[in-house]
Structure 1
Amino acid sequence: MLTGKQKRYLRSKAHHLTPIFQVGKGGVNENMIKQIDEALEKRELLKVSILQNCDVERETVSAELVEGTKAELVQNIGNIIILYKESKENKEIILPV
């Protein structure tokens, strides 16, 4: 579980990132979860964009992504979800205590 201080730090790191995944009309599926999980292992922090034609509520999308990837939800703002998962092999982000 991330503390408020750690979430603020991760939000500042994610500010300049562009979303590399988009959730559209089909919602979240197993293949998307697998790809996001692999990207999290390489990057640790990423943004996911929810398109306007998505039928699923954004809270549901973020909950499905967090549950499927075992990642931490940093922020859910507008149509953007920021996810963090500590990498096992490529650890780059050092969280404040």
Structure 2
Amino acid sequence: MPLSSQDIKRLRRIGHHLKAILIIGDKGLTESVQEELNSRLEDHELMKVKVNAENRDDRAAIVQTMCEQSGAELIQRIGNIALLYRAAEKPNPKLSNLLRYQNT
């Protein structure tokens, strides 16, 4: 189900204060990075990913591939930082950024 503009604004507001918790290096999107991405999305639901790629087109392709393979939705991409969202099946109140910052 696509997110409404209000949902996207809320997620961007929450994501503004987050730090990147996954950094993709020179080797790109490997299988182990994809597994880590899925695990972190399940824990945090909303997270920032830093993509270190040579140029803008490579970064955009990596972010698009990440979203397609993980089922996440791209909320925002500025430079080499992407804000991704995927709802967890059973959110952990101690780890979920949505539950921790729901009043902001």
Residue in 1 that maps onto 2:90: 89
Alpha-carbon shift at residue 54 of structure 1 (Å): 7.3
Counterparts in 2 of 1:55 and 1:7: CA distance versus 1, 3 Å:
closer
Residue in 1 that maps onto 2:65: 64
Bigger helix share: 2
Amino acid of the structure 2 residue aligned with 1:16: H
- Alpha-carbon deviations, 1:33-71, whole Å to 9, x = none? 111111111110000012255797111011111011111
Unaligned runs of 5+ in 2: none
Q: How many residues align?
A: 95
User: Mean alpha-carbon deviation: is it higher for 7-16 or for 43-52?
Assistant: 43-52
Alpha-carbon shift at residue 7 of structure 1 (Å): 1.0
Q: Give 3-state SS (helix, strand or coil) of 1:62's partner.
A: helix
Q: CA RMSD for the aligned pairs?
A: 2.1
Unaligned runs of 5+ in 1: none
Amino acid of the structure 2 residue aligned with 1:33: Q
Percent of residue pairs identical: 29
TM-score, normalized by length of structure 1? 0.86
- Quick check: 1:26–1:54 contact (8 Å CA) kept in 2? no
Distance 2:46 2:88 in 1: 10
- Quick check: 1:26–1:55 contact (8 Å CA) kept in 2? no
User: Mean alpha-carbon deviation: is it higher for 57-66 or for 47-56?
Assistant: 47-56
Residue in 2 that maps onto 1:8: 9
Distance 1:27 1:78 in 2: 16
